[in-house]
A and B are shown apart, each in its own frame.
Chain A
Amino acid sequence: MQRAYPEKPEQVYFFGTCLIDLFYPEAGMAGIQLLEREGVKVVYPQQQSCCGQPAYNSGYDNEARKVAAAQIACLGEERPVVVPSASCADMFRHHYPDLFADTPLHKQALDLAARTYELTEFLVHVCKIRLVDHGPAATVAIHNSCSAQRGTKTAQDAISLLRQMSNVAIVLQERASECCGFGGTFAVKAPDISNAMVQDKCDNLLATGANDLVSGDCGCLMNISGALEKRKDKLPAQHIASFIWERTQ
């Protein structure tokens, strides 16, 4: 069932995510600039930190809940929240309501869930963005995170943004829908299994002959590009927001 989307708002919150904050801030800035170019004013609350998913997925619910409450508090006003990660957006959309069930914050968690959008989803369905590609010809592989495919169900939105890019050819890797092996703390707690998964992912991506890899989730990117680098394989990896912003200015 398709989600009902609102008219383009005047303002949105931008929730940058902790990984982008520290390791991929250019992706966050690209997201903000894309939104502002669409005429949407972006509010970036300085009190934000992490959605709480690392602790939640590790089974530390109390710690996750405390951190989640702080995010709810700084995203309190009635405006959409745009998140440049399906994984963190899915945490807001589907896990906060569970995490706060039977607590005083449940209503606020449901409210936040209802107005949270993954970045590519928001650009496609709310901004109805039209992209003009000024970049050179490129062959691009896209890795959609498991959260984009099965949580927020926004994998198609990232693909449709790339399809708007006239000089970009999308190539499909084998087992495209399979997990890259990141899984947050999974990569550290079951490192050998995670490695077996990411090595296969790297092989499949390299086999496409793509010049670039894009993804809407920096967790997957950090995992895949980290493994590629260790193998000394060259496949530049970027967040989809950076990729699009650079080519459409």
Chain B
Amino acid sequence: MSRFEPATVNLEFDKRVDDALQDQELRANFRGAMDFLMGKRAAMFPDKEDLEALRSQGEAIRNRCLNQLPELLEQFEQRCTENGIQVHWAETSQEANAIILEIMHKHDATRMVKGKSMASEEIGLNHFLADHGVECLETDMGEYIVQLADETPSHIIMPAIHKNKQQIARLFNQKIDGVEYSEDVDRLIGIGRDVLRQKFFEAEVGLSGVNFAVAETGTLCLVENEGNGRMTTTIPPVHIALCGIEKVVESLRDIPPLLRLLTRSATGQAITTYFNMISGPRKPDEKDGPQEVHVVLLDNGRSRIYADKQLQETLRCIRCGACMNHCPVYTRIGGHAYGTTYPGPIGQVVSPQIWGLHTAGAITKACSLNGACGEACPVKIPLADLIRRLRYESNNNEPTPVPAPRGQGSLRKRSEAVTWKLWALLSRKPGLYKLALLLATRLRALTPKHIGPWTRYRSAPKPAARSLHELAAQRSQSNASSQEHGRHE
């Protein structure tokens, strides 16, 4: 798939999962990469108690910031403006795209370099700009590979993690003029860097994401390993930062614990190679930096998420990707199968809320609620609980007092609803329930050998000859009679 098409998420989910499961090379790539990342993270947190304390601290910081989000956003805007950063507000992805294009037009710009930004993937920026005659080049190595292959990222931290080095070697050989096939990783990276280096000097605009937006100082923080983020935000004359509104933190003091959690959880690094703090455009006495800095604050459904107390926990996310790395489902189907910008557990929570349950709610079924994601989450988002909640909202056709996720009730199936109603009737009427047990045990020879999808891969479970209800009743009777007997003796 070359571009993210929200309308296909629900419709093509089963097909995408099926394709992914059949692709043994893809599965081996993910299994290997996820094992590696889980191991790296575990090595960074040798002490369980320390880790728990740090996670609690991270959770508390993010909660404190979210609790005062409207005020912090206003303060952030004010400080940025004082620093000479131009602040724009975008309620939707269309608005964000239009704002960015307008800035490009104002500078007669046709070339953009991009640092890694999942928010820009979320709004479909690359294709929008291409449709308007702007060349947009990804400069993060993983993003560059994905762009070269005309794909979308399969992981929020490691966009090309679905590819092995042979696949990347073939891609470079096919797509970059004059490049011979080589599996030497250093050489491959060197080739990419040579191509990108020139583009940094040509581009009129650099676009980046934001990891933390500091309200107290009006500072944009950017975490990266390749230096492309620094080049993107310092070489072109104009820098645009695209920032989800939930990224705001209160003060610089909040950053160290969150940064420790982020890099250790994401890639198992104590610190990334680069940590950029951008507090405004180039000042008259400075030698580098852009002449203009813009920040586009993106809502795109986040206010709606914010309005629901439970779902608000979604917004604590610091986008480390640990939930994906630890998810047994993601490990087996990979990021593209979800069909959304954000895959894996956090994607199953964020995507249906941004694009609506009617568009992306179906991906919540790809979860066994095993809780490995929530256990790895550095800010303790109860991901399984939130996935379950969204399943409920998908089925729920009764109006709720808070603004519900869009598409509420849209995945309700009549047959399923009737089945659960019958199940509930049977399970709360002891007489009926015991009758059903009696029938199932006495007629066990007639148990069907094929029970829907269950028996495609498993033998059918066979009811016992006597239910526990019966055995327990017999036992308590015989206990009572032997006591009675004992008393008479």
Contacts and interface: CB of A to CB of B under 8 A. Distances in A.
A38 B256 CA distance: 52
A197 B21 CA distance: 11
Contacts of B476: 44
A191 B328 contact: no
Contact of B464 (A22, A189, A229): A22
B458 A227 contact: yes
Given A182-B368, A186-B367, A192-B18, A23 B462 contact: yes
Nearest to A69: B428
Interface in A163-186: 177-179, 181-184, 186
A227 B367 contact: no
B175 to A, nearest CB: 32
B369 A28 contact: no
A25 B467 contact: yes
B17 A63 contact: no
B64 interface: no
Contacts of B416: 58
Interface string B319-336: 000000000110011000
A146 B375 CA distance: 11
A23 B135 CA distance: 63
Interface in B323-358: 328-329, 332-333
A59 B394 contact: yes
A60 B458 contact: no
B328 A178 contact: yes
A71 to B, nearest CB: 9
Interface in B449-488: 452-464, 466-473, 475-476
Nearest to A55: B420
A100 interface: no
Contact of B365 (A54, A178, A186): A186
Interface stretch (A45-53, A104-112, A119-127): A45-53
A150 B375 contact: yes
Contact of A198 (B417, B457, B469, B475): B457
A58 B365 CA distance: 9
B110 to A, nearest CB: 44
A11 B485 CA distance: 22
Interface of B: 17-18, 21, 328-329, 332-333, 365-372, 374-375, 385, 388-396, 416-417, 420-421, 423-424, 426-428, 430, 433-434, 437, 440-441, 452-464, 466-473, 475-476
Interface string A27-51: 0110010000000000010111110
Contacts of B463: 22-23
Nearest to A198: B457
Nearest to A189: B365
A22 B332 contact: no
Q: Is the interface of A mostly helix, strand, loop or mixed?
A: helix
Contact of A22 (B18, B328, B391, B440): B440
A59 B392 contact: yes
Could you say which interface size class chain A belongs to?
35 or more
15 contacts: A21-B437, A22-B463, A22-B464, A25-B467, A32-B475, A46-B469, A49-B430, A49-B433, A59-B393, A66-B428, A183-B367, A187-B454, A193-B332, A197-B328, A230-B457
Contacts of B329: 190, 193, 197
A22 B465 CA distance: 9
B21 A192 contact: yes
Nearest to A201: B328
Nearest to A74: B430
Interface in A107-149: 146, 149
A193 B17 contact: yes
A24 B464 contact: yes
Nearest to B327: A179
Contact of B471 (A29, A50, A54, A146): A29
Nearest to B476: A44
Nearest to A61: B392
Contacts of A24: 464
A26 B465 CA distance: 11
A61 B473 CA distance: 31
A113 to B, nearest CB: 15
Contacts of B424: 55, 63-64, 66-67
A245 B472 CA distance: 16
Given A179-B368, A197-B368, A60 B395 contact: yes
Nearest to A63: B424
Given A25-B466, A46-B469, A193 B428 contact: no
B459 A193 contact: no
Contacts of A195: 456-457
A62 B426 CA distance: 14
A70 B370 contact: no
Given A22-B440, A22-B463, A28-B472, A229 B428 contact: no
A93 to B, nearest CB: 14
A59 B388 contact: yes
A52 B420 CA distance: 10
Nearest to B365: A189
Contact of A28 (B371, B420, B462, B471): B471
Contact of A57 (B369, B423, B430, B456): B369
A233 B375 CA distance: 33
A143 B301 CA distance: 41
